[in-house]
C-alpha cells in the first residue's frame, strides 16, 4: 500500500500505456512523462508567482495581490489572461527572426533540464550515465538566448543588460560546476539517480545527505550562491534591475513573449532548486528513517518548494550587488573556496571513518574562510552607522 | 542511416553555410551556434554521449559567446561594408576549398569497399573515460591543463597590453 | 553503397570545405576564426565516426582525441579572439584586406 502510493504515477503511466499495442508502448510512456513534466512544473511556477508576490509584500510590510480569488490565490490566471491578450509590440528596427526565436529557445532549454531530475523513486524521465553533464550543458545554452534577446532589440539598454547577464552567468558557471564536482567525486558517478541512491541510507535514523558533511555544507552554500546568480535572481539581478536598466534584456518584449521570459526565469529557479535538492539535500529521500512511508515525490517537491521560499526570502532581504562587486566576488572568493572544498573532500575521503575527519575538514574550511574574508575586507573601513531622517 | 541522420546533417551544413555567407556578423555567430548544436546531435547519434555533451557545454556555452563578445567589442556588427564582405581574392579561396572537397570526396568514394560495416554499439561509461583520462592519457591531460592555463594568461595579457600603452 | 560511416565522413568533408572556404574568402578576421572552428569541428566528427565504426571502440582512443581537440580548440579560439580585439584597438579595423603591410 505504501509502495503503491510511492509509485502511483509510474503505475498510472503503465496502466495508461497498456491500452496501446506493444510497439508503441515505450514511446507513449515517454510522451506521458513529458506531459507530466509540462503539466507539473508550470503549475509550480504559477504557485511560485503568487508565493513570491505575497511573500515579498509581507516582508515589505504591505499586502500582496489580494483581489483575485481568496487571498489572491488565483492571481496567476489573471496574469496569464493579461499576457495573452496584450498587444505584441516589436520595434521597427528590431531583428525579426532573432527577436522571435530568443524566448522560444530559452523556454525549450529551460525545460530540458527537468528531464534528468529524479522526482521520486524510479521517477526520472531519462536515466543517462552522464545526466549531470547534460544538465549543465543545457544551463550553459541559456546564455546564447539571453544575448539573442538583448541584441535583437537594437536598444542600448537591452544590449547592456544582456552583456551584464551573460558575463554574470559565465562567471558563476564555474563555481556552480565546481561545487557539484565535489558531489560527483564523493559518489563516483555523474548519474543523478545514483547520487540520490547514495544519499538514501540512514545511520541512527539520520540520513546520509551530503549537506550534513562539512564539504557538503560548504558546497551547498556555494551552490546556492552560484545558483542564485545563474538565474539572475536578487541579490544578483542587476541585469534586470528595474531601477537601472528599465527591464534589462527584455525591455522590448511585451505580451506573450514577456510571459515566456518570465516562465523561463522561474523554471530556471525551479530547475536549480531541483538540482540542489538532488545533489545536496538527498533528492527524494526522507529526512528520518521513520518517515520513509511518505511517498518519495512528496519529499522532493517539498524540498524544492522550501528552496524556493528561501530564494524569495533572500530576494526580499538583501540589497542588490553592483556588477563589479558581483564579478569580484565570483572570481576572487567563491572559486578559490570551491577549489579548497575539493581538497577538503579529498582529505575527508582518505582519512577513513571516525570523528577526526569531521574536525579536520571543518576546521580547514572555517579557518580559510575567515582568513580570506578578513583579507578581502581589509581595505574597507566601516564607520559607525549614521541615520538621517527626513525633517 | 535513418531520416534523423539526414535531417541533422542538413541542419549542420545549412548552419555552417550560413555562418560563412551572411553579411551580418551576429547572424553568422548564431548560425555557427546552430552548426555546433547539429554537430552535438551527430555525436549523440554516434553513441558518444560524453563528447556530445562536452561539445554543447564548451562550444555552444563558451566559444559561441566568445565569438559574439568579440564581434561586439570590435564593433563589426554595425558599419555596413563598403567593399562587400568578401575579399578581393575570393575566387582563389573558393577554388581551393572546392578542390580539397573534391580530393576528400574522391578518397572517400574510392575506399568505400574497405570501410567497416555496422559494428556493435560500444557501451562507454563515464567511469571508463575517467579511468582512461587518469590512466593511459594522463600526460595529454596535464599538458592540456597547462595549455589552458597558458592560453588564459596569454589572452588576458594580449587584450590588456594595449590599454597600458594608451594610458602612457 | 552508403554505409553509415561514409555518410558521416562525407558530412565532415563538406563541413571542412565550407570552413576552409569561409576562412579563405571573407574579409573580417572573426569570420576567419569561425571558419577555423568549423574545420576543427569537422575533424572531431571524423575522429568520433572512425572511433565508433573502427576496430577497437573499447580503447576509447577516438573519443579521447576528440575531447582533447575540443579543449585545445576552445583555448585557441580565446587567444585568437583576444588577438583580433587587440588588432582592432591598434588599427581600428578588422578588415584583413587592409592589413597587408608588416609595418604597424
Contacting residues for A155 by C-beta, under 8 A, at least 6 apart? A91, A251, A252
Rounded to whole angstroms, the Cα distance separating B142 from B164 reads: 33
Give me the domain span that covers residue B27. 1-79
The interface predicted TM-score of the complex, written ipTM, equals: 0.90
> For position B81, what pLDDT does the model report?
61
State mean pLDDT over A166-189: 91
A contact chains, 3+ CB pairs < 8 A: B
C75 in a structural domain = yes
| Interchain contact, B65 vs A163, CB within 8 Å | no
Rounded to whole angstroms, the Cα distance separating A239 from A245 reads: 7
Q: pLDDT tens for residues A25-71? A: 888 889 999 999 999 999 999 999 999 999 999 998 888 888 888 88
| Interchain contact, A144 vs B50, CB within 8 Å | no
pLDDT band with cut points at 50, 70 and 90 for residue A203 = confident
Q: Which residues of A touch B125 (CB under 8 A)?
A: 129
Q: Who wins on pLDDT, A25 or A301?
A: A301
Mutation for A interface: B35, B65, B71, B131, most A CBs within 10 A? B65
Whole-angstrom CA distances from A372 to A333, A346, A348 are 8, 21, 22
| Interchain contact, A130 vs B72, CB within 8 Å | no
Rounded to whole angstroms, the Cα distance separating A251 from B65 reads: 21
Which cell goes with A340? 579548497
Rounded to whole angstroms, the Cα distance separating C71 from B147 reads: 9
The helix/strand/coil state of A319 is coil
Which residue intervals of chain A are DSSP H helices?
Answer: 2-6, 8-17, 25-59, 75-85, 96-112, 131-152, 156-187, 192-198, 214-230, 256-279, 296-317, 323-328, 335-351, 356-376
Residue written as grid cell 582533447 = C68
> For position A220, what pLDDT does the model report?
95
**pLDDT for A269 beyond 50:** yes
Across chain A, mean pLDDT equals 87
Rounded to whole angstroms, the Cα distance separating A312 from A380 reads: 29
* Domain count for chain B: 2
pLDDT band with cut points at 50, 70 and 90 for residue B162 = low
pLDDT band with cut points at 50, 70 and 90 for residue B166 = very low
**pLDDT for A242 beyond 70:** no
Rounded to whole angstroms, the Cα distance separating A66 from B138 reads: 62
Closest CA to A207 of A119, A284, A122, A120: A284
C34-63 residues touching B, CB cutoff 8 A: 34-35, 37-38, 41, 44-45, 48-49, 51-55, 57-58, 60, 63
State mean pLDDT over B12-27: 92
C-alpha torsion angle, residues B28, B29, B35, B37 (rounded to 10): -150
| Interchain contact, A144 vs B60, CB within 8 Å | yes
> For position B82, what pLDDT does the model report?
64
Q: Who wins on pLDDT, A224 or A383?
A: A224
Q: pLDDT tens for residues B67-101? A: 998 888 887 766 666 667 787 788 899 999 999 99
Task: Provide the percentage of residues in chain B whose pLDDT is more than 90.
Answer: 50
State mean pLDDT over A6-21: 85
Q: Which of A238-242, B47-51, B72-76 has the lowest mean pLDDT?
A: A238-242
Chain A's closest residue to B63, CA to CA, is A144
Rounded to whole angstroms, the Cα distance separating C63 from A239 reads: 39
Same domain, B58 and B3: yes
- With an 8 Å CB cutoff and a minimum of 3 pairs, decide whether chains C and A touch: no
B111 in a structural domain = no
pLDDT band with cut points at 50, 70 and 90 for residue C40 = very high
* Phi (first) and psi of residue B116, to 5 degrees: -65, 150
CB A240 within 8 A of CB A161: yes
Contacting residues for A336 by C-beta, under 8 A, at least 6 apart? A372
Report the Cα–Cα distance between both ends of chain A, in Å, rounded. 68
pLDDT band with cut points at 50, 70 and 90 for residue A206 = confident
**CB-side exposure of B15: number of CA atoms within 13 Å?**
22
Whole-angstrom CA distances from A1 to A9, A118, A293, C94 are 14, 22, 10, 71
Rounded to whole angstroms, the Cα distance separating A91 from A153 reads: 7
**pLDDT for A381 beyond 80:** no
**pLDDT for B161 beyond 70:** no
Closest CA to A326 of A206, A235, A389, A199: A235
| Interchain contact, A144 vs B33, CB within 8 Å | yes
Nearest by CB to C3, from B66, B115, B151: name it. Answer: B115
User: CATH code at B10?
Assistant: 1.20.120.1200
Q: Who wins on pLDDT, A119 or A244?
A: A119
C42 in a structural domain = yes
Chain B's closest residue to C16, CA to CA, is B101
> For position B138, what pLDDT does the model report?
93
Is B50 at the interface with chain C, CB within 8 A? Answer: yes
| Interchain contact, C68 vs B104, CB within 8 Å | no
Residue written as grid cell 550543458 = A137
C8 in a structural domain = yes
B85 in a structural domain = no
**pLDDT for C1 beyond 70:** no
Q: How many Cβ pairs within 8 Å bridge chains B and C?
A: 244
| Interchain contact, B61 vs A133, CB within 8 Å | no
C28 in a structural domain = yes
β-pair partners for A203 = A206
Chain C's closest residue to B27, CA to CA, is C31
Is C99 at the interface with chain B, CB within 8 A? Answer: no
Q: Who wins on pLDDT, A386 or B18?
A: B18
C103 in a structural domain = no
Chain A's closest residue to B131, CA to CA, is A188
> For position B167, what pLDDT does the model report?
44
B73 in a structural domain = yes
> For position A324, what pLDDT does the model report?
83
Q: Which residues of B touch A140 (CB under 8 A)?
A: 56-57, 60-62
Same domain, B66 and B4: yes
Nearest by CB to B155, from C24, C70, C82: name it. Answer: C82
Whole-angstrom CA distances from A108 to A10, A139, A235, A260, A289 are 25, 11, 26, 10, 38
B104 in a structural domain = no
* Domain count for chain C: 1
**pLDDT for B120 beyond 90:** no
Closest CA to A210 of A369, A5, A27, A348: A348
Rounded to whole angstroms, the Cα distance separating B2 from B44 reads: 14
pTM for this one? 0.91
| Interchain contact, C24 vs B140, CB within 8 Å | no
> For position C21, what pLDDT does the model report?
94
β-pair partners for A202 = A207
> For position A289, what pLDDT does the model report?
80
pLDDT band with cut points at 50, 70 and 90 for residue B113 = low
State mean pLDDT over A13-36: 87
Q: pLDDT tens for residues A119-177? A: 988 888 988 889 999 999 999 999 899 888 888 888 777 888 888 888 889 889 999 99
Is A148 at the interface with chain B, CB within 8 A? Answer: yes
CB A140 within 8 A of CB B62: yes
C66 in a structural domain = yes
> For position B79, what pLDDT does the model report?
60
Whole-angstrom CA distances from B111 to C3, C5, C49, C62 are 11, 11, 15, 20
Give me the domain span that covers residue C59. 4-98
Which cell goes with B15? 548552419
Q: pLDDT tens for residues B143-159? A: 999 999 999 998 888 87
Ramachandran quadrant class, A389 (left: phi over 0; alpha: psi -120 to 50; beta: rest): beta
Is B87 at the interface with chain C, CB within 8 A? Answer: yes
* Phi (first) and psi of residue B86, to 5 degrees: -100, 145
CB C26 within 8 A of CB B20: yes
B105 in a structural domain = no
**pLDDT for B163 beyond 70:** no
User: CATH code at C50?
Assistant: 1.10.287.3510
Asked if omega into C17 is within 30° of 0 (cis), the reply is no
> For position A316, what pLDDT does the model report?
87
- With an 8 Å CB cutoff and a minimum of 3 pairs, decide whether chains A and B touch: yes
Across chain B, mean pLDDT equals 86
Q: Which of B79, B108, B134 lies at the terminal end of a domain, its last residue?
A: B79
**pLDDT for C3 beyond 80:** no
Q: Which residues of B touch A139 (CB under 8 A)?
A: 61
Is B73 at the interface with chain C, CB within 8 A? Answer: yes
**pLDDT for B168 beyond 50:** no
> For position B97, what pLDDT does the model report?
94
To the nearest whole Å, the CA of B118 is away from the closest chain C CA by 7
Amino acid at each position: 500500500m505504501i509502495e503503491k502510493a510511492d509509485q502511483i504515477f509510474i503505475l498510472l503511466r503503465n496502466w495508461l500505456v497498456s491500452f496501446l499495442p506493444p510497439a508503441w508502448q515505450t514511446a507513449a510512456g515517454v510522451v506521458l512523462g513529458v506531459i507530466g513534466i509540462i503539466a507539473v512544473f508550470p503549475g509550480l511556477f504559477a504557485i511560485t508567482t503568487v508565493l513570491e508576490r505575497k511573500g515579498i509584500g509581507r516582508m515589505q510590510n504591505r499586502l500582496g495581490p489580494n483581489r483575485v480569488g481568496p487571498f489572491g490565490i488565483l492571481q496567476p490566471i489573471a496574469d496569464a489572461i493579461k499576457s495573452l491578450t496584450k498587444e505584441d509590440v516589436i520595434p521597427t528596427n528590431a531583428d525579426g527572426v532573432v527577436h522571435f526565436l530568443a524566448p522560444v529557445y530559452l523556454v525549450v532549454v529551460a525545460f530540458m533540464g527537468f528531464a534528468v531530475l529524479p522526482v521520486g523513486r524510479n521517477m526520472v524521465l531519462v536515466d543517462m550515465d552522464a545526466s549531470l553533464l547534460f544538465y549543465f550543458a543545457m544551463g550553459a545554452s541559456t546564455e546564447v538566448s539571453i544575448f539573442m534577446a538583448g541584441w535583437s532589440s537594437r536598444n542600448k539598454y537591452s544590449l547592456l543588460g544582456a552583456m551584464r547577464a551573460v558575463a554574470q552567468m559565465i562567471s558563476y558557471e564555474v563555481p556552480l560546476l565546481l561545487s557539484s564536482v565535489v558531489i560527483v567525486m564523493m559518489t563516483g558517478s555523474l548519474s543523478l539517480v545514483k547520487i540520490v541512491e547514495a544519499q538514501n541510507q540512514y545511520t541512527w535514523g539520520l540520513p546520509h545527505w551530503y549537506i550534513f558533511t562539512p564539504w557538503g555544507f560548504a558546497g551547498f552554500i556555494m551552490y546556492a550562491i552560484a545558483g542564485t546568480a545563474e538565474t539572475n535572481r536578487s541579490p544578483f539581478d542587476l541585469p534586470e534591475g528595474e531601477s537601472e536598466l528599465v527591464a534589462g534584456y527584455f525591455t522590448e518584449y511585451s505580451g506573450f513573449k514577456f510571459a515566456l521570459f518570465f516562465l523561463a526565469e522561474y523554471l530556471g529557479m525551479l530547475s536549480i532548486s531541483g538540482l540542489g535538492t538532488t545533489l545536496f539535500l538527498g533528492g527524494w529521500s526522507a529526512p528520518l528513517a521513520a518517515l520513509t512511508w511518505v511517498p518519495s515525490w512528496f519529499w522532493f517537491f517539498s524540498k524544492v518548494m522550501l528552496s524556493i521560499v528561501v530564494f524569495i526570502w533572500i530576494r526580499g532581504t538583501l540589497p542588490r550587488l553592483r556588477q563589479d562587486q558581483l564579478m569580484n566576488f565570483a572570481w576572487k572568493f567563491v572559486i578559490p573556496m570551491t577549489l579548497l572544498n575539493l581538497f577538503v573532500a579529498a582529505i575527508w575521503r582518505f582519512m577513513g571513518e571516525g570523528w577526526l575527519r569531521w574536525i579536520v575538514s571543518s576546521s580547514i574550511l572555517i579557518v580559510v574562510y575567515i582568513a580570506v574574508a578578513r583579507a578581502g575586507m581589509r581595505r574597507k573601513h566601516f564607520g559607525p552607522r549614521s541615520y538621517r531622517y527626513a525633517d | 542511416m535513418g531520416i534523423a541522420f539526414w535531417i541533422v546533417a542538413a541542419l549542420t551544413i545549412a548552419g555552417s553555410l550560413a555562418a560563412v555567407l551572411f553579411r551580418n556578423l551576429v547572424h553568422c555567430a548564431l548560425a555557427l551556434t546552430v552548426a555546433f548544436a547539429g554537430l552535438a546531435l551527430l555525436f549523440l547519434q554516434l553513441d558518444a554521449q560524453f563528447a556530445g555533451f562536452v561539445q554543447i557545454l564548451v562550444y555552444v556555452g563558451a566559444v559561441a559567446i566568445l565569438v559574439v563578445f568579440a564581434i561586439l567589442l570590435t564593433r563589426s556588427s554595425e558599419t555596413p561594408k563598403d567593399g562587400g564582405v568578401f575579399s578581393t581574392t575570393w575566387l582563389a579561396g573558393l577554388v581551393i576549398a572546392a578542390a580539397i572537397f573534391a580530393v576528400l570526396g574522391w578518397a572517400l568514394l574510392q575506399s568505400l569497399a574497405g570501410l567497416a560495416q555496422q559494428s556493435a554499439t560500444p557501451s562507454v561509461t563515464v567511469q571508463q573515460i575517467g579511468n582512461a583520462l587518469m590512466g593511459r592519457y594522463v600526460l595529454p591531460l596535464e599538458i592540456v591543463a597547462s595549455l589552458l592555463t597558458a592560453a588564459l594568461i596569454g589572452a588576458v595579457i594580449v587584450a590588456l597590453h594595449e590599454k597600458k600603452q594608451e594610458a602612457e | 553503397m552508403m554505409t553509415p560511416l561514409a555518410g558521416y565522413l562525407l558530412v565532415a568533408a563538406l563541413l571542412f570545405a565550407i570552413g576552409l572556404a569561409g576562412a579563405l574568402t571573407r574579409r573580417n578576421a572573426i569570420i576567419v576564426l569561425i571558419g577555423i572552428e568549423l574545420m576543427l569541428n569537422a575533424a572531431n566528427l571524423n575522429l568520433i565516426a572512425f572511433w565508433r565504426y573502427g576496430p577497437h571502440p573499447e580503447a576509447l582512443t577516438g573519443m579521447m582525441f576528440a575531447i582533447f581537440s575540443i579543449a585545445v580548440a576552445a583555448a585557441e579560439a580565446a587567444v585568437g579572439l583576444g588577438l583580433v580585439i587587440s588588432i582592432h584597438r591598434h588599427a581600428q579595423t578588422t578588415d584583413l584586406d587592409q592589413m597587408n603591410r608588416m609595418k604597424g
